Amino acid sequence: MTDSKSALRIDVSKGGPGSGKGTQCANIVQHFGYTHLSAGDLLRAEIKSGSENGTMIQEMIKEGKIVPSEVTIKLLQKAMQESGNDKFLIDGFPRNEENRAAFESITKIEPEFVLFFDCSEEEMERRLLNRNQGRVDDNIETIRKRFKVFLESSIPVVEYYDSKGKVRKIDAAKSVEEVFEAVKAIFTQKYEKAAAV
């Protein structure tokens, strides 16, 4: 990874639970050479490591508290440095405006763009109930709570970046293949623009 922060290319992936974000992030990584950073995965890995930091994170989650932005951002920064890559796709962060402001203030980096997987609540609900992966949070009450949190916390972040012309909205109600075609078009256009500069 280069020392120059401006050389880093960071994109953010946003979408409600069940919008197909995880599947598309995996496709982007495979196709375009990005390193996928999931805030949730990094927090879970830190807990598993048994470190002092991990124990603190676990206690906070157990008590239903939100892990401080600084903690998540430090884990993201560490993962970026260790990856050796300069292209990152951040998933599940920033979750809210406070996360966003803290990320930009600490890293001095703004994402190049935000990929927003737009999907109706009905469709996301149907997908989550159908996926049946044995996840405890895939029941109707929990799903609806997650939608509410997403609308209240994450949509303001999408709106903020939209006001800066950084949001690329994708109709995520289509098939996985159709959605990825739309994703590919966005990334291809981005690379063509970069090459023309």
What are the binding residues for a ribonucleoside 5'-phosphate?
44, 65-67, 92-95, 135, 146
What are the binding residues for CMP?
99
The 3 state secondary structure assigned to 34-70 is CEEEEHHHHHHHHHHHCCHHHHHHHHHHHCCCCCCHH
Q: How many CA atoms lie within 13 A of 136 on its CB side?
A: 0
Question: Could you give the CA distance from residue 28 to residue 184 in angstroms, rounded to a whole number?
Answer: 8
User: What angle do the packed helices 39-49 and 52-62 form, to 10 degrees?
Assistant: 120
Pair of tokens at residue 185: 């078009």
What are the binding residues for ATP?
18-23, 131, 174
What are the binding residues?
18-23, 44, 65-67, 92-95, 99, 131, 135, 146, 174
Q: Select from 4, 7, 40, 34 the least CA-distant residue to 186.
A: 34
Q: What is the DSSP letter of 6?
A: G
Pair of tokens at residue 166: 């950084």
CA distances from 156 to 96, 130, 194 (A): 7, 29, 28
